[in-house]
Structure 1
Amino acid sequence: MVPAVPTTALPAPPSPAGARAASTAPAPAPALAWHPSPVDVAFVRDVSRVEHARRIGGAWLRNVCRMRVARVESAEVVISELCTNAVVHGHGDSVGFRLRHVGGQVRIEVNDHSPSAVPEPVHVGWEMESGRGLWLVDTLIDELGGRWGFTVDGAVAWCVFPIAQIAPLASYESCVPGPESRGHDLGSKSRRR
């Protein structure tokens, strides 16, 4: 005997006794709200794990959220930069990585578990080999039509952007953290003018 396994599938509606399938149209399926499964992982604070986070994020955005490829590629670079910053500048043993889909918006959080001063994007000289990460994040989030920032304690970098190309600014409010964790919203270049 096969043990019963709980499932989220709805049971089939009972068919009326003696009804002929050809004479009646099938009943419409009940409307269910679709909510993509969130991603909530932690990885060892090691630079080799950044590529894993990037692949997880990219696959989730493409396959679960059905985001267009060009937008996914930009989001993957954002994920890489935020995770790299957490690995390089964090002091905890692990890095938390969260992905959420709320009302047509994607929210990404990277937690380095290391409270610190909130970093700002900087422009570095062409001869420098590093230091462009947050500037790149700022540019890409602007292109994605989103916002980004850090919590007050500087431990969590977050960004919010629409799955589709354009979304009204008011819709971001449902994804922005509450006042107790809002921190610094670095926004985007077009919104800071």
Structure 2
Amino acid sequence: MSLTVSEHSARHIRRIVRSLLAEWDMTELTDAMELAVTELVANVVRHVPDRRCTLLVRRLAAGVRVEVADGSPRLPQTPPELSPEAEGGRGLVLLDALVDKWGVVRGPLNGKTVWFECGAT
């Protein structure tokens, strides 16, 4: 899907992910997948000036892969140290705790794709 996201887009995207997981009989992944995709969409809203992205949700042999690609060359970073008072910077820490694996790939132009995978149990 090609999207222009806003502060309210994550709710609709979670609904799509939930529907796909139900269709694929992988509802045990719903909580982790919804939180993780919310974080990636929130990063587009916060850090991508035009807020445009593409979202790919793909069934794997033993799980699901989600990719969010955008046109920003800025790579996500985990801050070296998080202050309890910090208002941001926890997204990648949360992503790392929720999913089996994740990563970032630079795109063919100036953008990037942030992806994650969750395995079915």
TM-score with structure 2 setting the length? 0.84
Higher strand content, 1 or 2: 2
Q: In 1, are the aligned partners of 2:56 and 2:66 still within 8 Å (CA)?
A: yes
- The equivalent position to 2:10 in structure 1, one of 50, 58, 63, is 50
Name which of structure 1's ranges 78-87 and 104-113 shifts more when overlaid on structure 2: 104-113
Identity %: 29
Q: In 2, are the aligned partners of 1:110 and 1:158 still within 8 Å (CA)?
A: yes
Alignment partners' CA distance in 2, 1:159 and 1:93 = 20
TM-score with structure 1 setting the length? 0.55
Which consecutive unaligned segments of at least 5 residues does structure 2 have?
Answer: none
- Residue 93 of structure 1 deviates from its aligned partner by 4.8
Letter of the 1:163 counterpart: A
Alignment partners' CA distance in 2, 1:52 and 1:161 = 20
Query: Could you say what the CA RMSD is over the residues aligned between the two structures, in angstroms?
Result: 1.8
- Residue 89 of structure 1 deviates from its aligned partner by 0.7
The reply to whether residue 114 of structure 1 matches residue 72 of structure 2 is yes
Q: In 1, are the aligned partners of 2:44 and 2:51 still within 8 Å (CA)?
A: no
Q: Which has the larger radius of gyration?
A: 1
Which consecutive unaligned segments of at least 5 residues does structure 1 have?
Answer: 1-40, 165-193
The reply to whether residue 67 of structure 1 matches residue 26 of structure 2 is yes
Q: In 2, are the aligned partners of 1:148 and 1:159 still within 8 Å (CA)?
A: yes
Letter of the 1:156 counterpart: T
Count of residue correspondences: 117
